[in-house]
Amino acid sequence: MKNRNFRTLLLLALLLHSACFSAEETSKYIRDLGSKDSIAKTKAIIMLGNNGDLGAIIPLVNIMKNDPALDLKRQAVIALGKIGDESIVPPMIGVLRTTAEAALVREIIKVLSNFKRGDVEEALLRFITSDNPIIRRETILAMTAIKADGLSTAVKEALGDMSSDVRIAAVNFFAAVKSTAALESILNLMTR
Protein backbone atom coordinates (compact mmCIF):
# COMPACT_ATOMS: atom_id res chain seq x y z
CA MET A 1 0.00 0.00 0.00
CA LYS A 2 2.85 2.36 0.87
CA ASN A 3 4.43 1.80 -2.56
CA ARG A 4 1.11 2.53 -4.30
CA ASN A 5 0.63 5.80 -2.37
CA PHE A 6 4.17 6.85 -3.19
CA ARG A 7 3.59 6.05 -6.86
CA THR A 8 0.39 8.10 -6.85
CA LEU A 9 2.19 11.09 -5.34
CA LEU A 10 5.03 10.72 -7.83
CA LEU A 11 2.56 10.63 -10.72
CA LEU A 12 0.83 13.79 -9.51
CA ALA A 13 4.13 15.62 -9.07
CA LEU A 14 5.31 14.62 -12.52
CA LEU A 15 2.06 15.62 -14.16
CA LEU A 16 2.33 19.07 -12.65
CA HIS A 17 5.92 19.39 -13.81
CA SER A 18 6.31 20.58 -17.39
CA ALA A 19 9.07 18.56 -18.98
CA CYS A 20 11.46 19.90 -21.57
CA PHE A 21 14.85 18.31 -21.51
CA SER A 22 17.98 17.56 -23.53
CA ALA A 23 18.76 14.60 -25.78
CA GLU A 24 20.91 13.18 -22.97
CA GLU A 25 17.99 13.28 -20.56
CA THR A 26 15.72 11.74 -23.21
CA SER A 27 18.21 8.90 -23.65
CA LYS A 28 18.36 8.39 -19.88
CA TYR A 29 14.58 8.15 -19.62
CA ILE A 30 14.44 5.76 -22.57
CA ARG A 31 17.04 3.57 -20.79
CA ASP A 32 14.95 3.76 -17.62
CA LEU A 33 12.05 2.14 -19.49
CA GLY A 34 14.02 -1.10 -19.24
CA SER A 35 14.42 -0.79 -15.48
CA LYS A 36 13.05 -3.44 -13.14
CA ASP A 37 12.10 -0.62 -10.75
CA SER A 38 8.46 0.19 -11.54
CA ILE A 39 8.73 3.67 -10.00
CA ALA A 40 11.70 4.58 -12.23
CA LYS A 41 9.86 3.12 -15.21
CA THR A 42 6.69 5.08 -14.39
CA LYS A 43 8.65 8.31 -14.03
CA ALA A 44 10.38 7.69 -17.38
CA ILE A 45 7.07 7.03 -19.14
CA ILE A 46 5.48 10.19 -17.77
CA MET A 47 8.51 12.37 -18.49
CA LEU A 48 8.83 11.10 -22.06
CA GLY A 49 5.12 11.75 -22.66
CA ASN A 50 5.31 15.23 -21.20
CA ASN A 51 8.37 16.05 -23.30
CA GLY A 52 6.65 14.97 -26.53
CA ASP A 53 9.84 13.60 -28.10
CA LEU A 54 9.06 11.54 -31.22
CA GLY A 55 12.10 9.39 -30.45
CA ALA A 56 10.24 7.97 -27.47
CA ILE A 57 7.39 6.52 -29.55
CA ILE A 58 8.91 3.11 -30.31
CA PRO A 59 10.07 2.41 -26.73
CA LEU A 60 6.69 3.53 -25.36
CA VAL A 61 4.85 1.37 -27.91
CA ASN A 62 6.96 -1.57 -26.71
CA ILE A 63 5.87 -0.90 -23.11
CA MET A 64 2.23 -0.64 -24.23
CA LYS A 65 2.45 -3.95 -26.09
CA ASN A 66 4.74 -6.06 -23.94
CA ASP A 67 5.00 -4.91 -20.34
CA PRO A 68 3.35 -7.35 -17.93
CA ALA A 69 2.14 -4.52 -15.65
CA LEU A 70 -1.24 -3.09 -16.71
CA ASP A 71 -0.63 0.25 -14.97
CA LEU A 72 2.60 0.75 -16.94
CA LYS A 73 0.83 -0.14 -20.19
CA ARG A 74 -1.87 2.45 -19.39
CA GLN A 75 0.76 5.08 -18.57
CA ALA A 76 2.48 4.33 -21.89
CA VAL A 77 -0.82 4.83 -23.75
CA ILE A 78 -1.35 8.17 -22.00
CA ALA A 79 2.23 9.24 -22.80
CA LEU A 80 1.82 8.27 -26.44
CA GLY A 81 -1.40 10.28 -26.52
CA LYS A 82 0.47 13.33 -25.24
CA ILE A 83 3.06 12.91 -27.98
CA GLY A 84 0.12 12.75 -30.38
CA ASP A 85 1.88 11.63 -33.56
CA GLU A 86 -0.19 9.71 -36.16
CA SER A 87 2.37 6.89 -36.10
CA ILE A 88 0.92 5.70 -32.77
CA VAL A 89 -2.45 4.81 -34.33
CA PRO A 90 -1.61 1.43 -35.98
CA PRO A 91 0.07 -0.08 -32.89
CA MET A 92 -2.78 1.12 -30.67
CA ILE A 93 -5.33 -0.46 -32.98
CA GLY A 94 -3.23 -3.64 -32.90
CA VAL A 95 -3.37 -3.71 -29.09
CA LEU A 96 -7.13 -3.07 -29.19
CA ARG A 97 -7.53 -6.19 -31.32
CA THR A 98 -5.66 -8.40 -28.86
CA THR A 99 -6.26 -7.12 -25.32
CA ALA A 100 -9.07 -8.05 -22.98
CA GLU A 101 -8.06 -5.47 -20.35
CA ALA A 102 -10.96 -3.01 -20.07
CA ALA A 103 -8.81 -0.30 -18.46
CA LEU A 104 -6.30 -0.46 -21.31
CA VAL A 105 -9.06 -0.46 -23.93
CA ARG A 106 -10.61 2.67 -22.37
CA GLU A 107 -7.28 4.55 -22.40
CA ILE A 108 -6.58 3.60 -26.01
CA ILE A 109 -10.07 4.66 -27.09
CA LYS A 110 -9.55 8.03 -25.38
CA VAL A 111 -6.27 8.56 -27.26
CA LEU A 112 -7.73 7.42 -30.58
CA SER A 113 -10.47 10.04 -30.20
CA ASN A 114 -7.84 12.56 -31.34
CA PHE A 115 -7.47 10.97 -34.79
CA LYS A 116 -10.14 11.16 -37.50
CA ARG A 117 -9.12 8.24 -39.69
CA GLY A 118 -10.97 5.37 -41.30
CA ASP A 119 -8.95 2.74 -39.45
CA VAL A 120 -9.80 4.42 -36.13
CA GLU A 121 -13.51 4.49 -36.96
CA GLU A 122 -13.37 0.82 -37.94
CA ALA A 123 -11.58 -0.11 -34.71
CA LEU A 124 -14.09 1.86 -32.60
CA LEU A 125 -17.04 0.16 -34.26
CA ARG A 126 -16.05 -3.14 -32.61
CA PHE A 127 -16.43 -1.64 -29.12
CA ILE A 128 -19.84 -0.02 -29.50
CA THR A 129 -21.33 -3.43 -28.67
CA SER A 130 -18.96 -4.22 -25.79
CA ASP A 131 -20.40 -5.96 -22.74
CA ASN A 132 -18.89 -3.16 -20.66
CA PRO A 133 -21.12 -0.03 -20.58
CA ILE A 134 -18.13 2.18 -19.72
CA ILE A 135 -16.34 1.04 -22.87
CA ARG A 136 -19.53 1.56 -24.92
CA ARG A 137 -19.80 5.12 -23.55
CA GLU A 138 -16.09 5.87 -24.17
CA THR A 139 -16.45 4.54 -27.70
CA ILE A 140 -19.36 6.85 -28.46
CA LEU A 141 -17.52 9.78 -26.86
CA ALA A 142 -14.54 9.03 -29.13
CA MET A 143 -16.83 8.83 -32.15
CA THR A 144 -18.27 12.19 -31.13
CA ALA A 145 -14.83 13.76 -30.79
CA ILE A 146 -13.83 12.70 -34.31
CA LYS A 147 -17.32 13.38 -35.66
CA ALA A 148 -17.54 9.90 -37.15
CA ASP A 149 -20.91 10.53 -38.77
CA GLY A 150 -20.45 7.46 -40.98
CA LEU A 151 -21.11 5.38 -37.87
CA SER A 152 -24.54 6.91 -37.17
CA THR A 153 -26.36 3.60 -37.66
CA ALA A 154 -24.25 1.87 -35.02
CA VAL A 155 -24.67 4.75 -32.58
CA LYS A 156 -28.43 4.89 -33.23
CA GLU A 157 -28.71 1.39 -31.73
CA ALA A 158 -27.05 2.72 -28.56
CA LEU A 159 -30.05 5.02 -28.00
CA GLY A 160 -31.87 1.98 -26.62
CA ASP A 161 -28.98 0.96 -24.35
CA MET A 162 -29.75 -0.03 -20.75
CA SER A 163 -27.09 2.38 -19.46
CA SER A 164 -28.26 6.00 -19.27
CA ASP A 165 -24.62 7.15 -19.67
CA VAL A 166 -24.44 5.33 -23.02
CA ARG A 167 -27.80 6.79 -24.15
CA ILE A 168 -26.67 10.32 -23.19
CA ALA A 169 -23.40 9.82 -25.08
CA ALA A 170 -25.39 8.68 -28.13
CA VAL A 171 -27.66 11.75 -28.02
CA ASN A 172 -24.58 13.98 -27.72
CA PHE A 173 -23.03 12.19 -30.69
CA PHE A 174 -26.00 13.04 -32.90
CA ALA A 175 -25.98 16.64 -31.70
CA ALA A 176 -22.26 16.95 -32.45
CA VAL A 177 -22.49 15.50 -35.96
CA LYS A 178 -25.65 17.54 -36.54
CA SER A 179 -27.56 14.48 -37.64
CA THR A 180 -31.32 14.55 -37.93
CA ALA A 181 -31.35 10.86 -38.90
CA ALA A 182 -31.87 9.80 -35.30
CA LEU A 183 -34.23 12.59 -34.30
CA GLU A 184 -37.29 10.31 -34.23
CA SER A 185 -35.46 7.75 -32.06
CA ILE A 186 -34.33 10.47 -29.67
CA LEU A 187 -37.85 11.86 -29.40
CA ASN A 188 -39.22 8.35 -28.73
CA LEU A 189 -36.59 7.90 -26.03
CA MET A 190 -37.59 11.16 -24.37
CA THR A 191 -41.28 10.27 -24.30
CA ARG A 192 -40.81 6.86 -22.60
52-66 pLDDT tens trace: 889 899 999 999 999
20-53 pLDDT tens trace: 567 788 889 999 999 999 999 999 999 999 888 8
pLDDT at 18: 43
pLDDT at 156: 77
| DSSP of the chain | -HHHHHHHHHHHHHHHSPP---HHHHHHHHHHTT-S-HHHHHHHHHHHHHHT-GGGHHHHHHHHHH-S-HHHHHHHHHHHHHH--GGGHHHHHHHHHH---HHHHHHHHHHHTT---HHHHHHHHGGGG-S-HHHHHHHHHHHHHTT-GGGHHHHHHHTT-S-HHHHHHHHHHHHHTT--TTHHHHHHHHT-
pLDDT at 19: 47
Domains of the chain, start order: 1-84 (1.25.10.10), 93-192 (1.25.10.10)
pTM of the shown model: 0.80
52, 55, 61, 63 alpha-carbon torsion, rounded to 10°:
-90
